[in-house]
Structure 1
Amino acid sequence: TATSLEDYERKAQAVAYDGERAMFESYGRNKYVSTGVIQWMLNNAWPSLIWHLYDYYLVPGGGYFGAKKAMEPLHVQYGYDDQSVAVVNDTYQERKGMKVRARIYSLDAKLLADKEESIDVPADGAVKAFDLPKPDRLTMTFFVKLDLRDARGKSVSDNFYWLSAKPDTLDWAHKQDTVYTPQAEFGDLTGLASLPQVKLQASALVEKKPETSKGKAHVRVKNASSSVAFQIRLRLANRKDDMDVVPVFWDDNYFSLLPGEERILSASYESGDLHGAHPVIQVSGFNIAAGEVPQQQGTAH
């Protein structure tokens, strides 16, 4: 249950990310057996927090980045139906010796299980790697981090899930055609509300190419805390009026970092959309201390 508008918004983005990702991942693992998937909808015709990939104001939301994650050309994913880990290859090249790793963390970021296997994935295929381990001392709400590396050890995909030890149970006896099946029992993700606030270490470089109208921002984010930094959101805004710079194209967003992890992300945009003002980069998230990211200006040559 949301306790405020701000709380409702952060939970809505997490739900949208999870729902869009699950929809496309389900089709990817079952492609050519499943008949297909229709995504509704691309964007909202009015301000809203549901369904869209980007909103009425052209701001990409959690759903956009959940869909983007699920549709990586070479992708590692979790199966909600059978608790398995699988790799989906949407390229037309066979991938041999892929290394799949799954780590399970408690709500307080303690490592509970770590499993790794090597598999071969056919071109345009999907392969189950293994079942997710079932460790002792599992908290009701827990996290799963998946990693996929190629035969040379290069990272090609990663994924992060927030799961419940109590499963969702559908009430199949009261299914209504193919439209709606009510739930008999809900999973328990209430532990997310108790995540400690995390203050991230962050810095940014904003570059402008003199010969073009394109701007680019690079942001380094590190979680130096002992807790999970959940659903981190980076925002590019106009310093004059604090309005989002749109359209904006981030490598990734609404991402999570385990203790000690760091990432460098980039965003591209049209400099003209700033109308002469300087951009400001802000960081926030589900349990993230919101603030402005210190930055330096740069010129690309």
Structure 2
Amino acid sequence: MESNLFVKGMTYGWDTTRGAYRQPYALESLIRLKETGSEWIALSFYTYQNTTFSTEIVFDYGHTMTDRDIEHAVRQAKELGLKVCLKPVVNSRDGIWRAHIGFPNEIGSEPYWEAWFKSYRNFLLHYAELAEELDCEMFCIGCEMVLTESKTEYWRELIAEVRAIYSGPLIYNANHGSEEGVDWFDEVDLIGTSAYYPVASKPGDSVEAMVSKWQPVKERFARLHEKFGKKILFMEIGCRSAKGCAMMPWDFTHTELPFDEDEQANFYSSVIEAFWDEPWFSGFFWWDWSTKLYPLESAHEDRGFDIYGKKAEHIVKQWYAKDR
């Protein structure tokens, strides 16, 4: 892996259904994404296990992206000059956050852990093989699987098997606040995190106030880098364009909050200003850029994570145009 890697990226393709990547609107979206100055996409898609306590991860023929879908999206991205991090994710069909997938750490639970990791291995190795065949420049081996992270030996064995198939750099996507709980970060090439840190103290907080709140987070990441010798990459980072969302940048449920593109823009500015020049920092995959964009004239009605046509997009364009 190149030592000076810096990702100017976006997450693309999330929360859509099979076949969507091959629609004309998906190519149009990728073209608009490229115009932000992005050089990378994290192609992120998911399948389900039935509950957080299930031991089997299955291909959902009614939902999950097919390999043909993924191949099409990767090839279109590469034709536009974008690099690709393939990011397969497992969600729980019962709606409980994937961080809770797992089993009690007590006598009698080990067969369940063993069965789950066997299923996850089959899931992950399939996409590792696909990432190698499609020449994806990075592969993400997991996302916010908090309860599983203490099973260090299982993860070490799994990563070794992935490396036997995929030759590019590997990253794991921890969740904000739980990064120090991963003892096997020495096995990956980059430490990833969903950096949804609440850096605003009130709705409409200033960029300066948010930058100040990022300082202790930076110190934690600097220590993490020193411990493992790996650079830190924000595998997910973003904030909705709604008032107060910088206080809870992970939020997608409070749909009643009023539109506020300044809130989103200030969050973006604060993150970039705080981390851009840190030598141990390796970039961003902003969350997220939709496969099907809203009409540009509707940008000021959208209160989601997308930045298309909003102030945050201009901020990203300005920074991504710079050398790093």
Q: Which has the higher contact order (CA 8 A, sep 6+)?
A: 2
- Give the TM-score normalised by structure 2: 0.30
- Give the TM-score normalised by structure 1: 0.32
* Richer in helix (by share): 2
Larger Cα-atom Rg:
1
